[in-house]
Every structure is written in structure tokens, then in C-alpha cells.
Structure 1
């Protein structure tokens, strides 16, 4: 009997951005998944017309067939409040955007979807509607009541972030012993659970230039980073560092680790994006479900032109499917759980 295809929930993000067009481009590929767009049906019809792509939109009935024809897309209709004008986000549609995210997250947790793949949204438009909003990562974390970490991954490199969208002057104060310990435990557990690495090796970057140069360029490494690494090494983790960020990515270093933990957003992401911008995927680690996303913004200047490049969304969908397939073979450990490499439970975690 043929196996059913995994159901991927797709959110279109900002209606006035390139997200709806990217969903259409993805649906035009022969991706082996049941694709369910959680958005406004008419929005997708208009996006398909702008792209010049023939798409068959099908009301989703919750089933998972054994095959899917390229050019077909299921729809879970969530109506817009105002018809989109490409390139001009409308705060009236903030509720629509948040409803699509909540529907996708709740559906994943209920088992209706195998994963969620998100197109970019416009945070400023949601905040302009009077709704405090920090981003996809924070929204899903709150919805799932989970501690999460942002990771960006290409076929060649995985980078997790200790802090995300903070002013540089706030970074050093934000990196405390509890935060760094929590982040490293999540990254370690997810590399084991979601990526199937039984003994993950994590390179940890320093905060200061030259990783503080023995305290001459800042004491954060001595006072915070090194003690945390020593504690977690004693619990069985393989941690390299703290490393100077300017040499951690040279070719001779790459074989020594499976992932990098960067201390702030721009410390490592320029390396990743310069190497593989169209193949980089944003993942949220620590959720009880799989969430991947594009690694770019709403591209308002391209919206409505039909010329937006779907490569990053296609990469995000393929990575979601890879993680779904790995989960089927090796179920993920419970959220928050982790083990030593010898199989014993790490202190402070659950089984």
C-alpha cells in the first residue's frame, strides 16, 4: 500500500510581500509532500496570476494522499481584512497574519501537519496595528510554551544564536550563565534529536575580539563563557572554544565541529549568507514540532513583480521533509530532554 505524503503547513507571511508568490512557485514544483497553504484563497489566486503560473487550489480536507501533482496546492482559508497592495503592508491584515501562524502551530501540535514552513512577514506592520510582536520565533515559542533557539543552516554550515535581534551594546549584558547554559543544552539536544548526531560537536564563539585575549579585551569569556563550557563538558558535551570569530570559519576549522554557537546576530550570519544565501534555512530549535523558514525578508520592492526567487523557500521545505523523514525513523526526544553521550540524563533535564 503506497505511503501517504507528509502534510506541510505553509504560511504566506506578509500579504503585500513576496510570500504568496513564493508559495505559488513552491507549489509548481514536484515536491513530494501534501502542501497546505494557510492563508486567503483569493490572495493565492492573485499571486498566481502575477507569476503567470497555473495553479489548482483545492480546499484542504485533512487527508494525506500518496502523491501530488506539480501545480496543485491545498488551502486552509483564512480571510484577509483588506485586499493586499503589493509592496504596501497594511496593518489591517495583522490579525490575518497572526491567525495563520496560530493555525499552523496548533495544527502541528495536534498532529494535523508534519511541519510548518513559513514565508517572511513584516514585523513593523503588525506592531503598527498595536500588537506587540517580535517575530516568528518568539510567537511559536509562546504558542508552544517552549524555550527556543534560532538556528540558520546551509548544506555546509549550521549556526545557532545565543542572542538574536539585540542592539550590540546590549549583547554582553544579555549573555548570562543561565542563558548560555540553556541555549547550549537546547542546541545539543536538537543536534542529537532532530539532526541525528549522536555526539554533536559545538564550536562556541567568544564575545570579544580574539575571544577576549586572556582578559585584555574584555572579561566576559573568563567570567561567563569559559565556566559554562567547563560545566557542560563535565556533563558530557563536546564543546570547542571559546573561539575567536575571525578564525572559527576558516576551512581547516570546519571539520572540527558540527555546528557553531554565535553570541550575536551579525557575528556569524554574514559568513553563512555570503556562502549560501539562496540555500540557507532558518530553523527554530526547541519546539515540539518542526518549523523551517526562508532566510530573507519580505522583499517589498519585488512584491507583485512575479520575479521573487523561491530558492530559499524550496530549501526550507526540503529541509523540513528531511527532518520529518528522520523523525519517522528516530522519534525526537521529549522537549527539554537531553542525555549524556553515555546515555545518562543530564542534570536539570527531563526524560
Structure 2
């Protein structure tokens, strides 16, 4: 007997990716339900070779559902996730709504799988921010080996991180530039076509943006509260795939060669690091792939015990949909959840 899975936000970029990955990875689901807002009722989405008709999240009864993969935004999650959890369905939430709640584990399965045990307090598990997920996958094995003290990261984040509207805006603006039409900015604060924007999410009082703050707070919660991290998050005219230039300082010495060997053996990591033209990964190659790619590993000669590296991943997969499904797989593998229909 398999599980009954609901995907909330099934018509969005991440929701559709969740459905694809559930089928690709052969998750033991006997039934999959697609949910969204009332305006999407009856819309059709694909799940493998099947077509699912979208049902309404607001009125859906989760009492016979085992897991809800929630990708409907923070406000929707705040409204519905507690209700879903009380009905005995485990919510794996992709928004920022629950990440900083002490009673909700924030989980990246390759990094802190044991944290999942705390999910029973609210029946909610949080997915990290897309830029944080790939970062901690790369940092965890190095932290275990030489203990990280400080991280400086600059991100190059694709427009898909801003949803379908972000992708549409890049396409529309690019076409407008080529045909000399007026270029309109609606989703982003400045033109994104042939440009970069050093601003993701809202500004905070200290001058950091909320996206940058998320990376700091989430890395501490997932990996180690003692790690100091500063980030500059930049939106770039790329459709899919987030890239990060990462500078790491360690408590103990670690060479580039040691780091390369450690990362080659680390779960979720794939090292492509040849010191030659094209011997590295760009976001274009990461699209549609599950791995966090690591390139340009080198010693930082400006600090003691420092390394620099380039980290790339498909933000819709590892940064969101894949990580959520890996959490669901972890629940099943550890026997933390049983199908309700079987129990009945």
C-alpha cells in the first residue's frame, strides 16, 4: 500500500517540477492530488503519463492524505499548513513561512537528516531557500573536515527564482530589445534583460535584503549557529540555475586538493573542476539536473585557511522541488510515516 500525496501550488513552476520528480524517482504514491487556488480549479497538469485535474486547496479535506508538498507561497502556507497538520497530514513547505519557527525542522537531507525527527510538534517540515540549499550541500562536508568559521557568498540567481512572472519578463524584455519595442519592468525593480540587479526581496534596516538575511539565518540553523556568513544576492538574466561565488574560511588548514577529494565523495555534490577552458559548470548545464555542481576550487591566498569555489545548481530542483521530495523519501525511509489507508 502506497502513500497519498497532495501537491499544493501544482500549477506553478515548482509545483509542476514536484509532480515531475515524484514520477521520475518512483516515489511510493498510490494517489497524487493536484491542488491550487480557486481560479485554477479544473486546470490540467501532468504527472508522468497521467493528467490530473486541479482541485481547490481551500476546501480540500486532508484527513486521508499522508504528505502535502506545499508550494503555494508563504501567506497561503501560514493559513493552511496548521490546518493540514492537525488533520494528520505532514506538510513539507517550500516557502519561508515556517523556516525560523523553533518547532519546525529546516531540512536538507544530505546535510542535517536527523533534524527531521522534530516534525511531529507541528507536522510541518520546512524547505530552505533555494540559494541556501545548494550552498549548505557544498559546505557540509568541508565543515566536517576543517570547521568553517566564516563564509562570504555572492549569488547569481536566475529569474525562475521569481516564478513564472520573472521568466516571462526576461523573455518579453529580451524580445523587446531586439525589435526596438519599449522595455517594461513589472516584476523586477529594473530591467533584467542584458542586465544584473543587486536586489532580491525587500531591503532591511541594516542594508541587507531579506534574501541575504535568509541565507545567513538558514545556514546557521541547518549547519552551525557559530558560522558567520555575509551574502550579496544578485538577479541575473538566466532562466534556470543559481550560481554562487563562495569564499570560505576554516579553523583548520585544508588544501584545494583535499577539498576536491572530500567533495567528490560527498552526497549530492558533483565536482567538475578542470583548470582549462570550459572545465567548469554553468547554470545552463545544471538545468534539469539533481546535483549541486562545484567548480573553480582553489586556495584563497589572502587569508589563513581559506578556499574559494563556484557552486551551481538547478534552483527549481535542488533548491525547491527535489529537496522537498527527498524530505518525503527520508520520512518513508526512517519509518516516520505510514500510509493512512494501510493503517486503517
Query: Which TM-score applies when normalising by structure 2?
Result: 0.36
Highest RCO, 1 vs 2 (Cα 8 Å, sep ≥ 6) = 1
